[in-house]
Chains A and B, each alone.
Chain A
Amino acid sequence: MREPTAPPVPALPAMRRQALRHHLLTEIRRPSRRQRRMRVLAPVAGVLTVAVAAGVIAQPWSPDSAPLIVPVEQGERVGASLLLNRMATVVTDRPGPPSGVGGYVYIRSRGAFAELGDGPARLRPVHEREIWIPRNERGDGLLQQPFFHAPIIGVIPQRETLTEVTPNATLVDLPEDPEALLEKLYRERQQRGRGNSRDGAAFTAIGDILRESLVPPATSAALYRAAAKIPGVEVVRGVADAAGRRGIAVAHTEQSRRDEWIFDEQSFDYLGERSYLVADTVDGPAGTVLGTTAVLQRAVVSELGQRPAR
Chain B
Amino acid sequence: MRARIRAGDSDALGELFDAHADAVHRHALWSGSDPAHAEDVVSLTFLEAWRIRESLRPGGDSLLPWLLGIATNVLRNSRRAARRHREALRRLPVRDTVPDFADSVVDRMHDADQVAAAMAGLRALRRADREVFLLCVWSQLDYAAAAEALGVPVGTVRSRLSRARTRLRALAQQELAGTRMIPVEQGEYR
Q: Which residues of A contact B (CB under 8 A)?
A: 1-17, 19-29, 187, 190, 193-195, 197-198, 255-256, 279, 281-283
B46 touching A24, Cβ below 8 Å = yes
Q: Counting chain A CB atoms within 10 Å of each CB, which of B73, B139, B150, B153 scores highest?
A: B153
Asked if A7 and B73 make an inter-chain contact with CB atoms under 8 angstroms apart, the answer reads: no
Report the bound CA distance from A195 to B190 in whole Å: 17
A7 touches B115 (CB 8 A): yes
**Within 8 Å CB of B137, what residues of A?**
3, 5-6
Contact B118 A23 (CB under 8 A): no
Is B60 close to A, CB under 8 A?
A: no
A231 to chain B, nearest CB (A): 12
Tell whether, in the assembled complex, residue B7 and residue A195 are in contact, meaning their CB atoms are under 8 Å apart. no
Quick check: A5 and B118 within 8 Å, CB to CB? yes
Is the pair A27, B151 in contact by a Cβ cutoff of 8 Å?
no
Decide if A23 touches B93 in the complex (CB within 8 Å): yes
Contacts of B114 in A (CB 8 A): 7-8
Contact in complex: A20, B151 (CB < 8 Å): no
B122 contacts A4, C-beta separation under 8 Å: yes
| Known A20-B39, A282-B6: A25·B14 in contact at CB below 8 Å | yes
Q: Are A21 and B21 in contact (CB under 8 A)?
A: yes
* CA gap between A112 and B156 in the complex, in Å: 38
Closest B residue, CB atoms, query A197: B151
Contact of A9 among B42, B50, B88, B111 (CB under 8 A): B111
User: Which are the 3 A-B pairs with shortest beta-carbon distances?
Assistant: A194-B151, A6-B138, A1-B172
Q: Which residue of B lies closest to A37 (CB)?
A: B54
* Interface 0/1 of B110-143, CB less than 8 Å to A: 0100110111011000000000000001110000
When C-beta atoms are compared, the residue in chain A nearest to B120 turns out to be A4
B-side interface mostly: helix
Q: Are A16 and B122 in contact (CB under 8 A)?
A: no
Which residues of chain A are within 8 angstroms of B188 by Cβ–Cβ distance? 187
Known interface pairs A11-B22, A25-B13. Does A4 touch B42 (Cβ–Cβ under 8 Å)?
no
Can you list 21 residue pairs at the A/B interface with Cβ under 8 Å? A1-B173, A5-B137, A7-B115, A7-B117, A10-B29, A10-B111, A12-B21, A12-B25, A12-B39, A15-B100, A20-B42, A21-B17, A23-B93, A24-B43, A24-B50, A195-B151, A255-B55, A255-B57, A279-B58, A282-B7, A283-B54
CA distance A146 to B93 in the complex (A): 46
Q: Nearest B residue to A27 by beta-carbon distance?
A: B88
User: Closest CB-CB distance, A100 to chain B, in whole Å?
Assistant: 39
Q: A12-B42, A187-B190, A194-B69 are in contact. List 15 more A-B contacts (CB 8 A).
A: A8-B111, A10-B29, A12-B22, A17-B22, A19-B93, A20-B42, A20-B43, A23-B88, A23-B93, A24-B14, A24-B43, A25-B13, A27-B91, A28-B47, A187-B188
Is A24 a contact partner of B17 (Cβ separation < 8 A)? yes
Residues of B near A4 (CB, < 8 A) are 117-119, 121-122, 168
Residues of A contacting B117 with CB < 8 Å?
4, 7
Distance to closest chain A CB from B85 (angstroms)? 8
> Which residues of chain B have C-beta atoms less than 8 A from A198's C-beta?
152-153
Contact among A5, A16, A281 for B95, CB-based, below 8 A: A16
Q: In this assembly, does B185 line the interface, its C-beta being within 8 Å of a C-beta of chain A?
A: no
- Interface residues in B7-39 (C-beta closer than 8 Å to A): 7-8, 10, 13-14, 17-18, 21-22, 25-26, 29-30, 35, 38-39
- Are B42 and A7 in contact (CB-based, < 8 A)? no
Q: Is the CB of B21 within 8 A of A20?
A: yes
> In the assembled complex, which residues on chain A have CB atoms less than 8 Å from the CB atom of B152?
190, 198
**Chain A residue with Cβ nearest B133:** A3
Q: Find residues 46-64 in chain B having any chain A CB closer than 8 Å to their own CB.
A: 46-47, 50, 54-55, 57-58
**Per-residue A-contact encoding for B163-183, CB less than 8 Å = 1, 0 else:** 001001100110000000000
Nearest CB of A to B55, in Å:
7
In the complex, chain A residues whose CB is within 8 Å of the CB of B92:
20, 23
Within 8 Å by CB of A21, from B6, B7, B18, B138, lies B18
Say whether A3 contacts B17, CB under 8 Å.
no
Taking CB atoms, residues of chain B closer than 8 Å to A26 are 91
With a cutoff of 8 Å between Cβ atoms, the chain B residues found around residue A11 in the complex are: 22, 25
Cβ-closest chain A residue relative to B152 = A190
Rounded to whole angstroms, the CA-CA distance of A5 and B7 in the bound complex is 38
Determine how close the nearest CB of chain A comes to the CB of B171; give it in whole angstroms.
9
**Closest residue to B7 on the A side, CB-wise?**
A282
